[in-house]
Structure formats: C-alpha cells, structure tokens
Amino acid sequence: MFWKLRRKCKHTAYKLEADFSFDPIWCNDCGWNLDVEDFPLSDQRQEELSQWIVEYGEWIDFETDSLKENGLTLEKQHNEKGMKLFNEVKKELGEEYTIIFVPSTSAQFYKEMEEDF
C-alpha cells in the first residue's frame, strides 16, 4: 500500500539529508530517496554531495556500535558541511525547488543510549 502512495507522489518538496549509501536528496512528502543526477546540479556539487555521504557516520565506531570519543564534534562538523552544501544546492536549484536541510542527530542518539546503560 505504501508503495502505491509513493508512486502517486509528485515529489514537489525535497530535503537534503545524509544517510548511509543513499543519495542525499529525498522527497519531503513521501520520503522516497531521489537520484541526485535527476536535479540540475553541477558535476562539482554532485561530487561534493557524494563525498559528504561517504563521510556520514564517521562519528560511530561500528565495531563496538558506539559513539567515538569525539563523535559529537565530528557530527557537528558534518552538519556544518551539510549546511554549506545545502546553501549551494539551494542556489543551483533556484526558486522552483522547495528544499530543506535535515541535520544528522545520530550522535546524540548514541550518546543517550550510552547514558542509559
């Protein structure tokens, strides 16, 4: 059923949000992950977005499934870079694209998990 709703979505509002191994542009209405190549972005911007995605999660120690010692700082830096990229993406897309930036909050999630134990 959810798949049918997504197919009917016109994808008129977008969000820039990092996640593991996904392009960082999503439909803000239905949540569908969209191909960066389908947007009028320069090759340079697409490469910068790809690099930003590769860096996503550097604050997590995956062997121990825990936050790295400087994890909150690393995530903050990632979000700052994302905000700069967002501003550039927004300029390149122009006014016909409604897009928002969604910063990562996973480091805070890991911190809270560690505090609960």
pLDDT above 50 for 53: yes
Range 9-13 contact pairs with CB under 8 angstroms and sequence separation of 24 or more: 12/98, 13/98, 13/99, 13/100
φ and ψ of 58, to 5 deg: -60, -15
Per residue in 32-50, pLDDT tens? 999 999 999 999 999 999 9
Side-by-side strand order, sheet with 33-34: 33-34, 25-27, 13-16, 98-101
Q: What's the start-to-end Cα distance of the chain, in Å?
A: 38
For strands 66-67 and 13-16, give the pairing. unpaired
Alpha carbon 34 to its chain centroid, in Å, reads: 12
The larger pLDDT score, comparing residue 88 to residue 3, is at 88
Q: Does the reported pTM lie above 0.85?
A: yes
Q: Using the 8-state DSSP alphabet, how is residue 117 labeled? A: -
On whether the CB atoms of residues 19 and 55 are closer than 8 A, the answer is: no
Q: What is the DSSP string of 82-109?
A: HHHHHHHHHHHH-TTSEEEE----HHHH
pLDDT above 50 for 28: yes
